[in-house]
Amino acid sequence: MHDIEPFWNWRHRYTAEEDERSPFHGRIYSEFEFTHAVYDHAIHPQWDEFGSSTLYIKILFADYDDGFAVIEMIGEWNDLLHNDIMYLKRDIVEHLMAQGIGKFILIGENVMNFHTSDESYYEEWWDEVEDRGGWIALLNFRDHVLHDMKAANIDQYFLVGGRMNDVEWRTYEPEELFRQVEQYVVKRLGV
């Protein structure tokens, strides 16, 4: 896992550590010291820690005018042992929402497992974005992770499945990706 870097091709357009409105503003990264791990697997030092010991993220792009953020994830999403959704919601999502973000694109191809607890933070997040005309879309999550989310009945709070499981998102500029996902959302929600 140590050689899986967050997507870097938009860095000339956006970096969370240089964005004064980002929860990661001012962070300094090492290219050589591997200080974070998912269990006994070191991960690349460019991933951001946000309170979870098994799940890490990278805000790849935030557009405050259009109100969307693209967040890549890596590790194990474990609400049961580590309450990852609480940390994600309270420390990242709420910060971004206070800055005008209401539409979230979560990229999960590197999320290896999901373990549920309860759905209260998911419901809260969905209600808050829905009130703002927003949404939460999951792109390219692994089938077994989506299965576990569905079994826990939290898939109802996300736009997931269908064409969103196979988006070649790296081929788009961030605004193009947003427009593509928003088209899927409009078809799904009928808005």
Structure confidence at residue 15 (pLDDT): 97
User: If you average pLDDT over residues 115-133, what whole number do you get?
Assistant: 94
Q: What's the whole-number mean pLDDT along residues 74-87?
A: 94
Residue whose pair of structure tokens reads 């964005």 in the numeric block: 19
What gap in Å lies between CA 67 and CA 84, rounded to an integer?
Answer: 24
Q: Examine the pLDDT at 189 and tell me if it is beyond 90.
A: no
pLDDT band at 98; cut points 50, 70, 90: very high
pLDDT recorded at residue 188: 73
Task: Using the predicted structure, report yes or no on whether residue 63 has a pLDDT greater than 90.
Answer: yes
Q: Span 108-120, mean pLDDT?
A: 94
Per CATH, the architecture of 49-189 is what? Answer: 2-Layer Sandwich (3.30)
pLDDT, tens digit (0-9, with 9 covering 90-100), for 129-173: 999 999 999 999 999 999 999 999 999 999 998 888 889 999 999
b/e sequence 35-55, b meaning 16+ C-beta within 10 Å: ebebeeeebbebbbebebbbb
Assign 44 a pLDDT band (cuts: 50, 70, 90).
confident
pLDDT score for 190: 66
For range 40-58, the mean pLDDT: 89
What's the mean pLDDT in 15-28?
Answer: 96
What confidence category does residue 36 fall into, taking pLDDT thresholds of 50, 70 and 90?
Answer: confident
Q: For residue range 100-109, what is the model confidence (pLDDT) as tens digits?
A: 999 999 999 9
CA distance 69 to 62: 4
The DSSP letter of residue 48 is B
pTM (2 decimals)? Answer: 0.94
Strand partners, 111: 75
What value does the mean pLDDT of the chain take?
Answer: 92
Contact 2, 41 (CB under 8 A): yes
Indicate the domain borders of the chain: 49-189
